[in-house]
Amino acid sequence: MHIKGRHIAIAAGLLAAVGITAWLLIPAPVPVETAAVMKGKFVATVDEDGKTRVRERYVVAAPLAGRLSRVRFKVGDPVQVDDAIATITPSPAPLMDPRTRREVEEMLGTGEANLERAKAVVERARALSDQANTDLARTRTLAQQGAATAQAFERAELAARLAERDLRAAEFQDHAAEHEISQLRALLARYSNDGGGQPEAWNVASPVAGVVLKVAQESETIVQPGTPLLDIGDASDIEVVVDVLSTNAVEIRAGADVTIDNWGGEGKLKGRVRRVEPAAFTKISTLGVEEQRVNVLVDILSPSEQWARLGDAYQVDVQIAVFARDEATIIPAGALFRRGEGWNVYVSKDGRAELCEIELLRRSGRFAAVASGLSPGEEVIVYPSDRVVPGIRVASRPR
């Protein structure tokens, strides 16, 4: 009996040693992070940085060349319609050399002579017109009495009309001579060598009511026609401009819902796409790659009181909805990986990793919608490492 109990103890010890050895040889479960497959509404978005912009911006430019006085307005100052926002003094005319001045004076003398001659022509034409009208009246009386022929009356009537036309032509010549004299006198006054006749200052008026957005030229200086002076606009009437890749712009439609985030205030703002511009432009990315980008214009729908502190050219994050599906099967995008030509995921089932091939509907950002292959409630492994293979033991750690 003693020997038999001893054999049993030895056998039990050997079995325990084998069990411990086998347990030590079994690989430990691979720790993984899992997430539950959910059912709900899936929305795919195009996520980009955007920038606010005053919808109607007016650039006030110099209407003439001259000296610009120092602009008293600062950025943010309110202005009203027709307010004088800048003053420009036209550049003084250069001095005239003696020879040119003498020529202009002689031209002035010729013009005065032409004016006197034109006045004489007017007097002569007026006298002839009066005589022609008198002859016409006399011939009309004689024709009514039968003492003059109809042909004589017609000749008298024609002569009166021609005399009237000659009088009008002479008066036009007289007016032209007067204007020529005025032009020459103004030329002499402008180029006067005595320094008189300083040009009058010109006030530049604001075309609209709003606030000053930018002062392009503040200090006193010489400006040319078309030089930008100030930018004026309504700071409360702003839109959001988002430049997206042209490949993404194809999916964006006018009227699409937009979410505006990270704008500096609390919560998120709602918006709507107003327009997708039809022309793209080339932009160099931060990595030095040329990209074709398209501007998308977004209207802000949230109450203006909520975003009243937003200004011109503020940066925001924009999410533009391009696809939506109700009752979609949703998983984290990090669970997806390629195997061959299809998409696959690892499902944690009964403590082991099970390979599952799926049909991907759409992915967007951190989530993806699955058309088939998964059921709500299943646990998928997120970001599986190279240690995860079909059938391996896993230790799940929910996200």
- Per-residue HEC secondary structure of 164-231 comes to HHHHHHHHHHHHHHHHHHHHHHHHHHHCCCCCCCCCCCEEEECCCCEEEEEECCCCCEEECCCCEEEE
In this prediction, residue 72 has a pLDDT band, given cuts at 50, 70 and 90, of very high
Q: For 260-276, give one letter per residue: b (16+ CB within 10 A) or e.
A: beebeeeeebebebbeb
Residue range 241-250: average pLDDT?
95
State pLDDT tens for residues 340-392.
889 999 999 988 899 999 999 999 889 999 999 999 999 999 999 888 889 88
**Residue 232 above 90 pLDDT?**
yes
Percent of the chain at pLDDT > 90 equals: 45
Name the nearest CA neighbour of 47 among 259, 331, 254.
Answer: 259
Among the residue ranges 92-106, 167-181, 307-321, 372-386, the one predicted with the least confidence is 92-106
pTM over 0.85: no
State pLDDT tens for residues 217-231.
889 999 999 999 999
Among the residue ranges 3-7, 72-76, 292-296, the one predicted with the least confidence is 3-7
Backbone torsion region of residue 316, taken as left when φ is above 0, otherwise alpha when ψ lies between -120 and 50, otherwise beta: beta
State pLDDT tens for residues 18-45.
566 555 455 678 888 999 999 999 999 9
Q: Which is higher by pLDDT, 97 or 179? A: 179
**Residue 287 above 70 pLDDT?**
yes
Structure tokens of 65? Answer: 């060349």
| Exposed / middle / buried, residue 3 (Cβ in 10 Å: 0-12, 13-18, 19+) | exposed
Structure tokens of 378? Answer: 């299943």
Name the nearest CA neighbour of 312 among 201, 188, 211, 187.
Answer: 211
Q: Which is higher by pLDDT, 390 or 15? A: 390
Measured in whole angstroms, the distance separating CA 348 from the mean position of its chain's CA atoms is 51
**Residue 280 above 70 pLDDT?**
yes
Question: Which pLDDT score, from 0 to 100, does residue 128 have?
Answer: 85
Residue 346, classed as helix, strand or coil, is: strand
Among the residue ranges 65-79, 169-183, 186-200, 370-384, the one predicted with the least confidence is 186-200
**Residue 13 above 90 pLDDT?**
no
**Residue 202 above 80 pLDDT?**
yes
Which helix or strand (DSSP H or E) is residue 7 part of?
helix 2-25
CA distances from 399 to 211, 377, 380 (A): 50, 14, 11
Residue range 169-185: average pLDDT?
81
Q: Please provide the distance, in angstroms rounded to a whole number, between the alpha carbons at the two ends of the chain.
A: 59
Structure tokens of 138? Answer: 């006399």
What is residue 93's DSSP assignment?
P
∠ at Cα 307 (306, 309), nearest 5°?
125
Question: Which pLDDT score, from 0 to 100, does residue 185 have?
Answer: 80
Residue range 235-244: average pLDDT?
92
Question: Which pLDDT score, from 0 to 100, does residue 11 have?
Answer: 67
Helix axes 98-145, 150-190, angle to 10 degrees: 160
What is residue 101's DSSP assignment?
H
Virtual torsion, Cα 200, 205, 211, 216, nearest 10 deg: -50
With contact defined as beta carbons under 8 Å apart, do 232 and 312 qualify? no
Among the residue ranges 21-30, 47-56, 260-269, 299-308, the one predicted with the least confidence is 21-30
State pLDDT tens for residues 88-130.
988 766 666 777 778 777 887 888 888 888 888 888 888 888 8
CB atoms within 10 A of CB 296: 26
Question: Which pLDDT score, from 0 to 100, does residue 1 have?
Answer: 47
Name the nearest CA neighbour of 64 among 207, 202, 197, 200.
Answer: 202
Percent of the chain at pLDDT > 70 equals: 89
List Cβ neighbours of 241 (8 Å cut-off, separation of 6 or more): 50, 51, 52, 53, 295, 296, 297, 298
**210 beta partners:** 79
